[in-house]
Each structure stands twice: as structure tokens, then as C-alpha cells.
Amino acid sequence: MPVPDLAPRSADPLRVLVVDADDRVRESLTGLLAIGGRVSVVGGAGLPGPALDLAMATHPDVVIVDPRLPDVDAGTAFIGRLRELVPDTRVLAMSWSENLENGGIDCGADGFVRKTFRPAELIAAIMSAGAAA
């Protein structure tokens, strides 16, 4: 299988914040997104409070979030608060659940990607969300 083209397409990479309760998912996404220079991960958090603090401090272009964060009702409270505090940030919902594929938009996200993504699919989803920023 050919390796997807992850080469930079612009001088300024999209700034991304990764929000997922699973440390392994955050670490894996951070490592994957560092490849190619199209994305710069500005931070990661596993809980809503620290994630909101990071978003306000870093003003990412895109926040990748699992809508099933602890202490959050299907992600809507977190995403709604994120939109209030950093209104220009786009939100990409990411989940293992097929049930959220259509519900990702319902929870306030700008897009959805399953955690079973191929690298090129993830990059395309981030670029699409970032283009709307």
C-alpha cells in the first residue's frame, strides 16, 4: 500500500489540539500528526477543564475531540463551551463508535472521523475542518 502524501502544502501548518481521555490515543495522534509538517500539535488533554485552558492559551485552528470525554454529556457541553471561549476554532469529533458518525455533527462538531482512520483520511478531515476556520 502506498504511503499517503503528508508533505506540507502551505508555509503555516494547521495548529491542532488533541483531546481524548486515553493517553495512548493522544500520544499516537501527536506522533502521527508530526509527520509531514502539515499539522502542528499545540497540546493534548484528557479532561475538559485542562483542554479548555489549553485551547484558550494556544488558539488552535482545529481541536480533535472524542465526544465521550469523562464528565461530559456526549461532548456537547465541552464543544459548546469551546465554541464560546475560542469561537474561531473548528472541532473534529473522533470516536470508535459508528453511532457517533452522524451524531458527531449533532454534538456541535464541524466534522467526524472514526478512530479506525487511515492516516490520509485523518489528514484530509483535519485539512477540511481547518479550511473552514
In the chain, where the domains are located: 19-131
Percent of the chain surpassing pLDDT 70 = 77
Three-state DSSP state, 95: strand
Query: Given pLDDT bands bounded at 50, 70 and 90, which one contains residue 104?
Result: very low
Asked: is 19-131 a CATH 3.40.50.1220 domain? The reply is: no
Q: What is the pLDDT of residue 17?
A: 97
Count of C-beta atoms within a 10 Å radius of residue 88: 9
Which has the higher per-residue pLDDT, 8 or 125? 125
Position 110 scores a pLDDT of 86
Ranked by mean pLDDT, the top range of 63-72, 80-89, 96-105, 114-123 is: 80-89
Mean pLDDT of 10-38: 89
- Give the separation between CA 77 and CA 125, rounded to whole angstroms: 22
pTM of this prediction exceeds 0.85 = no
Read off the pLDDT of residues 39-58 as tens digits, 9 standing for 90 and up: 999 999 998 999 999 999 99
Looking at residue 98, its pLDDT comes to 62
Average pLDDT value over all residues in the chain: 81
Contacts of 22 (CB under 8 A, 6+ apart): 46, 66
